[in-house]
Structure 1
Amino acid sequence: MPFSALGLSPALIHSATAMGFVAPTPIQEAAIPAILRGADVVGSAQTGSGKTAAFALPLLQRLHAGSPHTPRRVRALVLVPTRELAAQVGEVVRSLAQHLPQPVKVAVVFGGVSINPQMMGLRGGADVVVATPGRLLDLVEHNALQLANVNLLVLDEADRLLDLGFAEELQRTLALLPQQRQNLFFSATFPAAVQTLAEGLLTDPVRVAVADTPANEPSIAQRAIAVDASRRTQLLRHLVQEHQWSRVLVFVATQYAAEHVAEKLYKAGIFATPFHGGLSQGARKQVLQEFKDDRWQVVVTTDLAARGIDIAQLPAVVNYDLPRSAVDYVHRIGRTGRAGESGVAVSFVTADAEAHFRLIEKRQHLSLPREQIPGFEPTEVPPEATAASTGGIKGKRPSKKDKLRAAAAAAQAAKGQD
């Protein structure tokens, strides 16, 4: 099916073609007509499936169909969880809007940088705002923008927006918006919390779920390699050199590990650099651009880069440390095998992490053989499993509220014994 069959304007079709979109992806084919009709939409599809264009194209068409505002008032708001995703979504929206007969002003705002340039950029208003929730609220408090005219709200990576630290800001933002508006929720995964929010906010939504069929799944070869924890860096270096990967994204658990592993690789003659939340926004932007320009062979990162990072033709992803949750596993490996390309996702499975990886496999319906690389055969023995062990999977550990409830119950029981 061509884009012209979806009801898009010739200008937007021209923009999509100029960006290299040959034909709609399944999520675009299903979501765009529903959004153009004005329906609320819940869109679910794997990473790299074209979700951003699935909401950006009809968003721009609906803006263009409305009467122009002078001065500009924010009519579309896109909320995202990270700075990198904000920048990427803003870039896509601006590129798709460039051939419209009337210019569309897109403001991209996020924390971690000075608020003053963003306030200056909002002088005269904006048509579309792409924002992280915290910075958006800061700008509202500074009277730099108003949200009373928003008629279309997009939550991109909706599951992350409900993570600890975002839920309260999201609720405060929703309270500032008009009751009558179109709502679009997009994500690769939809846990129960997101479904609950959707039920409370959306009106008779159209649910678009692109099944992970062989035709739709990205071409990602998944591997699990058993290795001792102390030899992971050496094995990583061996794999990079043996497979001659032009670029590799390596995921670790902490900012310290990102710095440490990148330094070890660099000293071994591999052009590697860290990427994590401890870097300034300017440094993070520079690293990503240099990685896209093939100036770095390896970027060692935390889960900061697990979402919203689109690097064309990235051949390999390595889980040096396993992700905390099965959902994060999906997003990590989804950085490769994008836009019809193929890729490989390698997970290092140490003795201590074996039980955890089995739970990830169970939740992702996987069963990967444990490879052993000659010269790197593991010698460590997995610890004995305990009945209380969850393998560290996120969502199975007691939450802070659970602990508070347990403490209150214990205190009440002790009081009853007095």
Structure 2
Amino acid sequence: MAKSKPLENENQGLSIGKIVIIVILVFTFVPISVLSILYFTNENFKYIANGHLGNAPGAIGKYFQSFPTRDEREAQKRNVANYLLDLDTSRAADKLILIKKEDNALFSDLIKIMSEKNAKKTEPILELIRDNSIKKDILTSTIEQINSEKKLSLSEQAKYYETLSAASLVQEINRVLMDGAVSFRDMGLIIEQMNEKIAVSVLNNLDEEMALKILSNFDSLEKGKKLQEIVAQMKDKERSLVSSAQIYNTELPEKLINDLGQVKKYKLEELSVLYRNMSILQGAQILSRVEDKDFKLNLLNKIKEDEIVREGNDLVTSDLIKATKMFEEYNRKISDLVNVYKKMEPQQIADLISKLYKNNNGVSKYSFENGESFNITDKDLAIEVLRKLSEKVTAQVLAGLDADLASEISKSLALPKEKI
């Protein structure tokens, strides 16, 4: 029993030592653990700690001095935010997604700075990030791939259409839509991607109901509305030109040379509308007096193209060319006769005029594919020649005719000149 006391004393000493060690550990490691947690989770604490620890001597101080200060860190964030705003939407979204995976707090700070600097640019980036963050199943991915391939195919179709002539393009679009080879939805997407000028021309030359149906299938409602307004303006202008053509139909051809014999008052496409809505005879008489061959060639080509686009074939140009050549020959014949008569004595001219005027068999008849026709008589020729001679010579010629004939011709010359 005497040995038990020293053992008890020894055990008590060990217990006190353990307690002391535990106390030391608690008061040493717990604060360190708490401080470590604060350091890595609280940004304010981290900046304060780095500032104090940076003052420590030796390698420890240098290590903590290498960390950026709060101001430096904020400046870095602003630089990154500016960089991201300068990128296109897709690239900026990709980079922010990577940042978010590594540091969500930094991601939030960058988005806040970007929104403050340029909210309009930041919003589509966030939308793209949200779209990309949605987990896609295999069906969704497949559908997206199909849509992407289809969009590429429609884009290539749009480029091909742009290489066609206006007439071929309108005919092709009419054909594929009527056959059902291409849906109105797809045709809307194709025309939406085409050059705006070409797209407007196509829509203006299609059936109005068909054009509106195509426009309703545009992805961009704004672009569809814009093109619809342009087409409406073109149709209003065309209606106005058609009305002008009816007025020009009643006027003398030689008075219309300045308006309709050059690209000055009207553009070439506007002149095409005017000539296509005037009578063949009126248009031909105007063109027969135009000396600019390039202008006539360009106009006739434009009329031919527009006729094929609108009507599917051209029944105007060949008639217009034929009539123009006839009037050119008629005008040349008058000019040649005038030049010859100017070298004659008045009585000689009077004898020739008398024969021309009385020649009932001297009739030239012309007819055209569109149903129009006209006649030119020697009587018309005689009157036109006298109109071209000087007043003095004409008076002398009339004096050399018999009284009845002179009276009849005088009355014709006194009347306002009529169109042939």
Q: Which has the larger radius of gyration?
A: 2
Whichever structure has more strand as a proportion of its residues is 1
In the superposition, the TM-score normalised over structure 2's length comes to 0.22
Higher relative contact order (CA 8 A, sep 6+): 1
In the superposition, the TM-score normalised over structure 1's length comes to 0.22
